[in-house]
Amino acid sequence: MYFRPNYLHMKKLLPLILLPLFAFQVQAEDGSRLWLRAKADANAQVVYDAEKSPTIDIVVNELQTQWTGAPVHLVIAQSKDIRALKDGYLIAGNRTTGVTITSATEQGLLYGAYHLLRLQETGKAEGTLNIRESPLYDIRILNHWDNLDGSVERGYAGQSIWKWDELPGRLSPRYKAYARANASIGINATVLNNVNASPKILTAEMLNKVKVIADELQPYHIKVYLSINFSSPAQLGGLPTSDPLNADVRKWWKDKINEIYRIIPNFGGLLVKANSEGLPGPQDFGRTHADGANMLAEALKPHGGIVMWRAFVYSPSNEDRAKQAGLEFLPLDGQFADNVIVQVKNGPIDFQPREPFSPLFGAMKKTPLMAEFQITQEYLGFSNHLVFLAPLWKEFFDSDTYCNGKGSTTAAVTDGTLFPQPLTAVSGVANIGEDTNWCGHHFAQANWYAFGRLAWNHRLTADEIADEWLRQTFSQDPAFLEPVKSMMLTSRETAVDYMMPLGLHHIFAWSHHYGPEPWTDIPGARPDWLPSYYHQAEARGIGFDRTDKGSNAISQYFSPLREELSNVKTCPEKFLLWFHHVPWNYKMKSGRQFWDELCYKYDSGVQQVREYQKTWDKAVQYVDEERFGHVQSRLKIQAQDAVWWKDACLLYFQTFSKLPVPYDIERPVHELDELMQSSKEQKNK
Ligand code: GCW
């Protein structure tokens, strides 16, 4: 009953059953146009005198068909001031007399054109325009966890959009639509395949398919990257080893990388998951991450390619999982080649609804780091729950590492402000699939959008991004905008409340990560894959002690943050159980005992989702029937799931706390035994 993946299979059949009902509708509002819904029936004048190119054709066409104001002048200029904008642009002028977009590059004109159209579509193109934009990160990249068989790891929007079976002969129209959507928000790079990479991606046959996609994306200035399997020399090349210091292995990679660039001249580089979750890597041969990364970097260097080397590593040792990336990577600081960037998940564990920032940020001062966010909602209700992620990412960007004193935010340590770095980048694990609406949930499109906008400018507020997205995607009517925006802006905190408030983490169901299973115990399983490792609930209290009395993971943070987190009185309550083991009757800032606070948090999550249902129902007159109904039914699932989370967690933790659920909050509607039994049955299937 509670195993949603079954439901998800059902969901795939539903459109077939319902198809005859909708067949008569002329213009389906199916969400396939994303936020790009401007009418394309304008006839604007666009003036451009310099060299033509496929990109310029796109810019001119977008403006001609959608801009409803006076002529737009496109200017390429090479003054120092303009070149400093990198791929940014100036927009100056007035909608009634004429507008000029100036950039040093055609790529900048492309982004400028989309910005101008965005202003128009959000009602902000009136008056005198005087805009100066330049991206804060050089590489703004999506990571697809798409497998070569068409499945998507942690994907909740159908199969992969990359149709490897049809390539290189047949081109899906989605490739261009994908490139356009990304360019419209400034994304300029994409990794096509899963970090759990098959060596087969590097066969000549596959590279020729990749080339076709790369060519489709090129006019939109999106560079293609690939994930590789570290043991490709052995598995694909037939060598006896994949040791990065072995001469034959090094030659194999050089040749392979030369071959890639012969086929795909504008190739971006490689993403590597190595010695992580059972994948091969340099440590298999007694070498370090730096040895592995630098070998690839050397082969990529002559082509201008880069290596993104992931720091998502942990093994079943006695050491706290939250500390392990630090233990492995900090000693390597300064050892990486200058075309390597280390890709670090925003938090130390794994894309949880809330995590403190990973202590690698700020600590690796001589190595460029890039944050990896997860746009797909692996741990946030898949594409069933409405959870707007800009607030989560903003929380990360605004976190102060104190590595160079106050104000050393994770944004400042990654965007080149604090340390001069040859490369700056930020990545997001895509939530895109072949579903008609691309992302499964209409509101999940907002997360793709928000990632692009923040990658361009992490200073934008979550409010500004939600506002822009809603205006373009649904309606500009304030009666719609205000309540729906507030639903979006609170939705992440709401999800934290009904899933894992007060610093709880990783109490998900085994393997699929959809629902709650704080009780899971699988004989022989790795302890760090079991919820009890993280919550540590017992008769006296709950939470993971990461102070110096416990795992001392806190020591990886800088002072004074370290002291603030260490002291249970000053540790922010949102991280309480992340860093501390507290008694059930621990006194919270609200004056309540911890157990009661936990109950109120879960309950507040449930009540909020109920409010969202009301908010959405009231929006009925502003939204087309099809998208309205879709979101409405997803909210029903979310409301049921929120109750499921609350009941499962409170009833289970109550077996330790032995305290009553405060009498003024909603009573559980499930039996703990039933919930535990049903998850067991699913596992045995
Ligand atoms: O979050 C975990 C996921 C895995 C994923 C891994 C990673 C691609 O459950 O599915 O593998 O992280 O980021 O490498």
In a mutational test of the pocket of ligand 1, which residue from 196, 427, 429, 512 has the highest number of ligand atoms less than 8 Å from its CB?
196
| Structure token digits, residue 598 | 């936990």
Q: Answer whether residue 16 shows pLDDT above 70.
A: no
pLDDT, one tens digit per residue, over 532-560 is: 999 999 999 999 999 999 999 999 999 99
Are 164 and 150 within 8 A, CB to CB?
A: yes
CB-based contact 268:306 (threshold 8 Å):
yes
The rounded mean pLDDT for the chain is 95
At residue 659, the pLDDT reads: 98
SS3 label, residue 149? coil
Between the CA of 553 and the centroid of ligand 1 the distance, in Å, is: 22
pLDDT tens digits along 213-226: 999 999 999 999 99
**pLDDT the model gives residue 12:** 41
Where residue 665 falls among pLDDT bands split at 50, 70, 90?
very high
d(CA 671, ligand 1 centre) in Å: 32
Residues 605-625: tens digit of each pLDDT: 999 999 999 999 999 999 999
CA of 492 to the centre of ligand 1 (A): 21
Q: Does residue 378 have an active-site annotation?
A: yes
Residue 645 near residue 667, CB atoms below 8 Å: no
Q: Is 277 a catalytic residue?
A: yes
Q: How far is Cα 178 from Cα 182, in angstroms, rounded to an integer?
A: 6
Tokens representing 119 are 């202003």
Tokens of 610: 């109920």
Q: Which amino acid is at 499?
A: M
Q: Indicate whether residue 196 lines ligand 1 (CB < 6 A).
A: yes
pLDDT of 24 reads: 39
Three-state DSSP string of 87-112 = CCEEEEEECCCEEEEEECCHHHHHHH
Write the residue with the smallest CA distance to atom 3 of ligand 1: 154
The number of residues in the chain equals 685
- 661 close to 599: Cβ distance less than 8 angstroms: yes
Classify each residue of 306-328 as buried b or exposed e, where b means 16 or more C-beta atoms within 10 Å of its C-beta: bbbbbbbbbeeeeebbbbbbbeb
Domain boundaries for CATH 3.90.1330.10 within the chain: 496-544+581-684
Q: Cα separation of 414 and 357, whole Å? A: 13
Collapse the DSSP code of 203 into the 3-class scheme (helix H, G, I; strand E, B; otherwise coil) and give the result: coil
**Do the beta carbons of residue 209 and residue 219 sit within 8 Å?**
no
pLDDT of 657 reads: 98
The lowest-confidence range among 26-40, 117-131, 319-333, 362-376 is 26-40
Which regions of the chain carry the CATH code 3.20.20.80? 140-473
Ligand 1 atom at shortest distance from the alpha carbon of 429 = 13
154 lines ligand 1 (CB under 6 A): yes
What phi and psi values does residue 139 have, to the nearest 5 degrees? -110, 125
User: Of 45, 8, 65, which is closest to residue 381 (Cα–Cα)?
Assistant: 8
Locate the ligand 1 atom nearest the alpha carbon of residue 153 and give its number: 10
What DSSP designation does 508 have? Answer: B
Parts of the chain belonging to CATH 3.30.379.10: 46-133
Average pLDDT over residues 408-437: 97
195 lines ligand 1 (CB under 6 A): yes
DSSP 8-state secondary structure symbol assigned to residue 40: S
Ligand 1 in contact with 144 (CB < 6 A)? Answer: no
- Residue 186 β-bridge partners: none
Q: Of 263, 244, 357, which is closest to residue 307 (Cα–Cα)?
A: 244
Radius of gyration of the chain measured on its C-alpha atoms: 25
Fold designation for 46-133: Chitobiase; domain 2 (3.30.379)
CA of 5 to the centre of ligand 1 (A): 18
* CB 241, CB 235: distance < 8 Å: no
**Residue 286 tokens, joined:** 């007694």
Residue 675 Cα to ligand 1 middle (Å): 26
Local confidence band at 172 (pLDDT 50, 70, 90 cut-offs): very high
Q: Candidates 3.40.50.620, 3.40.190.10, 3.20.20.80, 3.10.129.10; correct CATH number of 140-473?
A: 3.20.20.80
In which band, very low, low, confident or very high, does the pLDDT at 26 lie, cut at 50, 70 and 90?
very low
CB of 350 within 6 A of ligand 1: the answer is: yes
Q: Which atom of ligand 1 is nearest to the CA of 196?
A: 8
Question: How far, in Å, is the centroid of ligand 1 from the Cα of 271?
Answer: 14
SS3 574: helix
> For ligand 1, is residue 510 a contact (CB within 6 Å)?
no
Q: Which atom of ligand 1 is nearest to the CA of 351?
A: 1
- pLDDT for the residue numbered 10: 39
CATH classification of 496-544+581-684, choosing from 3.10.310.70, 3.90.1330.10, 3.40.50.150, 2.60.120.40?
A: 3.90.1330.10
Extended beta strands in 213-315, E state = 223-228, 269-272, 306-310
The finding on whether 429 has its CB within 6 A of some atom of ligand 1 is: no
> Looking at ligand 1, which residue's alpha carbon is closest to its atom 2?
350
Compute φ and ψ for 549, nearest 5 degrees.
-85, -15
Q: What is the pLDDT of residues 454-510, one digit of tens each?
A: 999 999 999 999 999 999 999 999 999 999 999 999 999 999 999 999 999 999 998
Mean pLDDT throughout 12-24? 41
